[in-house]
Amino acid sequence: MISFIDKLKTSISEKNSNLCVGIDIDKKYFNKNVSVDELMDYSFMVVDATKDLAVAYKPNLAFFEEWGSKGFYWLEQLIKEIGNKHIIIADAKRGDIGNTGLHYANAFFNHLNCDAITISPYMGEESIQPFITDLSKGAYVLCRTSNKSSSYIQEDIFSKVISLCDNLNSKENIGLVVGATNDQALEAVRSKTDLPFLIPGIGAQGGDLESVIAINENYMSSTLINISRGIIFADSKDYSSVKTSAKNYLNQMRAVNG
């Protein structure tokens, strides 16, 4: 059994890529009568266009759950389409405790076969523990996010989140979600830990790629930089534009990262 951290680092190294493609297939970018089947086909196209460039995919559960059972079927088929040669992160932001957390972990790790999941630490150690018992599966814990009002709460507690995660990381399968839109916050988190980062906020949200890489220059072997809308809804929303956008972002990463 390969550990999560080994799969992460090996994938980044072999593909010379830190690119994580966020699968946020929002129906508002399509005609008002768009069907789940059409969105499924589009998501498959995104994967096909980026599979030789991306090291990871991060499907956002909200865009599947709004379709009910059809959306869950779509998610199942998408994960099968991605396969096991990429890191699959369920952007689910779960964080319940005890038996409930164990059932969430079972759903995402055993049924859906995701490699990792995003979780909220607000309920403490018990909200993380159910997701880190298997060293082959990982948990990305929300730490400093990229939304505008995040600092209202996170500025006072992010150090505690880091300390908690460091203490629980005996299997080396915990990472942190740290947004790209606030360089000072990103640098503050990085100065306190060497945990793997999942960094959203590049592209449509305005984060600066050069700054992100400069802050993490000694940790790129385990860093994932997520881009969603900037790739999946690039220009004319076709195979060529999606692939070109993904390639451009990856080339920028490689150029800055050396």
Given a contact cutoff of 8 angstroms between Cβ atoms, the answer to whether 119 and 131 are in contact is yes
Instruction: Respond yes or no: is residue 32 known to be catalytic.
Output: no
The tally of CA atoms less than 13 A away on the side-chain side of residue 124 is 2
| Bridge-based pairing state of the strands 138-144 and 116-119 | parallel
For residue 129, give the DSSP letter: G
From the candidates 9, 51, 93, 192, give the one annotated as an active-site residue: 93
Distance linking the first and last C-alpha atoms of the chain:
32
3-state secondary structure (DSSP) of residue 153: helix
Q: How far apart are CA 16 and CA 53, in angstroms?
A: 9
Given a contact cutoff of 8 angstroms between Cβ atoms, the answer to whether 3 and 173 are in contact is yes
The alpha-carbon radius of gyration of the chain (Å, integer) is: 17
- Catalytic site positions: 93
